[in-house]
Structure 1
Amino acid sequence: MASSDDYESLPESMHPAIHMAAGALAGIGEHCVMYPVDVVKTRMQCINPDPHAKYRGIIHAIRQMMANEGFFRPVRGMHVVASAAGPAHALYFSCYERMKLLFSGSSQVGHNPIANGLAGCFATLFHDALMVPADAIKQRLQIYASPYAGAIDCLQKIRQREGLSVLYRSYTTQLTMNIPFHSVHLVTYELLQDYLNYARTYDPLSHVISGAGAGAIASAVTTPLDVCKTLLNTQECCLASTGGPTCSVPRGSPGTSMNTVATQEARGLITAIRVIYMQGGIPAFFKGLTPRVLYQMPSTAVAWSCYEFFKHSFAGKPTIL
């Protein structure tokens, strides 16, 4: 039974702006706190990386970027994702809170995994509609020897050379990845809360542990789809920076020499899977697994901690410091 301090579901009379404000602040914190690790993940997932962009690990990669490309190189493009993360997460969390109430038919929504999973699916549709274009620009700025001077230059060149529709080329892949990601993430978070914080009081430590655990599990199982998304978002700029074919389907077994390839641009999830498999076999789908998990664990811990803190504060409850 929930205690008198149960704030898990704010009153139905509470304005949706409460959830939106809490979600926006949580989203900005989530994406900014571990952004350099996200840069490393993108570079490690590049299907045909520049020889100068091969790293032994996360720390080595960040040091190399700072030494060879400038001190602020690991945070290049962060403003793009931060500007989109606020409104995207505002929609995400407000939709999640409302939809899980609708699907559960009860105020005790923390104990209904099916309702939480379905709510996460619907929330993802709104979230990704805003985040996909920002993510495409961000990843083009993150790669080694990016041909763009900045976010505005990137957007202008995309419009002139490829058309703005290319910004949504990975949308289907993003949804294919994020719907299971957020479903697993939210269900895991709520299940961990059932175990660590059954009374559903404001408990910062349980929110941190539950958020980190949920992020780690969800990010690990969806890494192959994240690799596909990175390919779809970065293939043209990888081509520009390396001077050679980026998305190539070898004739033969995985790992065939690049000298025997037939160039094929990946336009969707199926061709992206084919390109990645022919370039490196099954292991290629797990490139960047470690930085992805290490990025998501603290990021989701921060997101849930911030969200629960602001939700608790906006509800008029005293906070625990």
Structure 2
Amino acid sequence: MSQDQKPLPFIYQFAAGEYPLDVVKTRVQLQTGKGAGADAYTGMVDCFQKIIRHEGFSRLYRGITAPILMEAPKRATKFAANDEWGKFYRKSFGIQKMNQSLSILTGASAGATEAFVVVPFELVKIRLQDKASAGKYNGMVDCVVKTVKAEGPLALYNGLESTMWRHILWNAGYFGCIFQVRQLLPKAESQGGQVSNDLMSGAVGGTVGTILNTPLDVVKSRIQNSPKISGYAPKYNWAFPAVFTVAKEEGFSALYKGFIPKVLRLGPGGGILLVVFTGVMDFFRKTLNP
């Protein structure tokens, strides 16, 4: 970066840095069977190499506008919903402080809430990342227009159920682990210690959440990439029937396609996310309550 260039906001840098991993994850998840040639990916590195070799480096950033626009409302909804559901459940159950069970329950509820925000963005992103649709859409807006025109406005919420399950499982694992790991770690004696604890807690939470939700993420990608055609029942339609179909036809390991690039994003990313959120909230508390 040159001296006179202004740095991009963190959200853009973060999205740009992790996005190629997301493209690779989606390509591997959409692959059925063994495939052949440039369309067959044996793993993360092979997928990276073939995309760059056959499609060009820029293909790793195709569709990035959708997740950038999604990032802020998604993260805001995640933590705000988790906080509000926590208040609701504590009041409902007459519990003063959070515990492990409540952390998992509030995380799951926050995940379900978050899904309503992210589904249209995810659908557009998946369709732009798929190699088969590379020449079908010119960009995010074109994808939205053509999808609505061909399948109706509700098509933008195709895959809502599977997305809800994906976010329920990830958030339950994420917030549940954050609570538990924080209890196990030594109490921070400084701001630096608090940051370290949050990085560790969030990274463990992100990793566990990814282990739990990857099978639902695989079928969600396939469901959202299946256009709605009148009179035709798509092969992948509902989350858990699709999970059983993938396991039966491709083996259990197919449910973890794209796991490595996914966990590389969401493991460390979960720690960074928690540190950023905690820092912003502390700033607001000091500002509003000097």
TM-aligned CA deviation for residue 226 of structure 1:
1.1
Q: What whole-Å deviation, never above 9, does each CA across 1:256-281 have from its counterpart, x for those lacking one?
A: xxxxxxx9532222442354234313
Offset of residue 139 of structure 1: 0.8
Q: Which moved more, 1:227-236 or 1:182-191?
A: 227-236
Confirm or deny: 8 A CA contact 1:227 1:286 kept in the other structure: yes
Secondary structure class of the residue paired with 2:131? coil
Contact 1:169/1:268 (CA < 8 Å) preserved in 2? no
Distance 1:283 1:56, change over 3 A: closer
Higher helix share: 2
Q: TM-score normalised to the size of structure 1?
A: 0.74
**Alpha-carbon contact 1:173-1:228 (below 8 Å) kept:** yes
Q: CA deviation at 1:294?
A: 1.6
Per the alignment, in what secondary structure is the counterpart of residue 286 of structure 2? coil
Query: Which of residues 128, 145, 161 in structure 2 aligns to 1:156?
Result: 145
TM-score by length of structure 2 reads 0.81
Distance in structure 1 (CA, Å) of the matches to 2:11 and 2:175: 15
Correspondence 1:228 to 2:198: no
Give percent identity, aligned residues only.
24
1:102 positional shift? 3.9
Q: Aligned residue for 1:10?
A: none
How far apart, CA to CA, are the structure 2 residues paired with 1:95 and 1:305?
18
- Equivalent of residue 159 in structure 2, options 170, 173, 194: 170
Maintained 8 Å contact 1:124/1:179: yes
- For 2:167 and 2:65, the matched residues in 1 are separated by 22
Deviation at 1:191, TM superposition (A): 1.0
Match of 2:65 among 79, 98, 116: 79
Q: Displacement of 1:78 after TM fit?
A: 1.8
User: Is residue 216–residue 297 contact of structure 1 (8 Å, CA) maintained in 2?
Assistant: yes
Task: Spell out the pairing of 1:119-268 with structure 2 (5 A cutoff).
Answer: 119-146=106-133, 147-198=136-187, 202=191, 203-236=194-227, 264-268=234-238
State the match for 1:42 in structure 2. 26
Bigger relative contact order, structure 1 or 2 (CA pairs below 8 A, ≥6 apart): 1
Alignment of 1:82-121 (within 5 A): 82-104=68-90, 109=97, 112-121=99-108
CA displacement at 1:212 relative to structure 2: 1.1
Give the deviation of 1:197 after TM superposition: 4.8
Task: Encode CA deviations 1:67-106: one digit per residue, 9 max, x unaligned.
Answer: 3322222122122012122112212212212332443459
Q: Partner of 2:6 in structure 1?
A: none
Structure 2: give runs of 5+ residues left out of the alignment.
1-8
- Any conservation in 2 of the 1:204–1:305 contact (CA below 8 Å)? yes
Counterpart check, 1:315 vs 2:254: no
8 Å Cα contact 1:30/1:302 also seen in 2: no
**Counterparts of 1:293 and 1:82 in 2: how far apart (Å)?**
19
CA deviation after TM superposition for structure 1 residue 186, in Å: 0.4
Residues 27 and 184 (structure 1 numbering): CA distance in 2 closer, same or farther, change over 3 Å?
Answer: farther
Counterparts of 1:228 and 1:200, CA distance in 2: 44
Distance (Å, rounded) in 2 between the aligned partners of 1:58 and 1:173: 24
In structure 1, distance between residues paired with 2:145 and 2:128:
13
Q: Report the number of matched residues.
A: 268
Quick one: which of 70, 91, 107 aligns to 2:56? 70
Residues 197 and 94 of structure 1, relative CA distance in 2, 3 Å threshold: farther
Give the corresponding residue for 2:5.
Answer: none
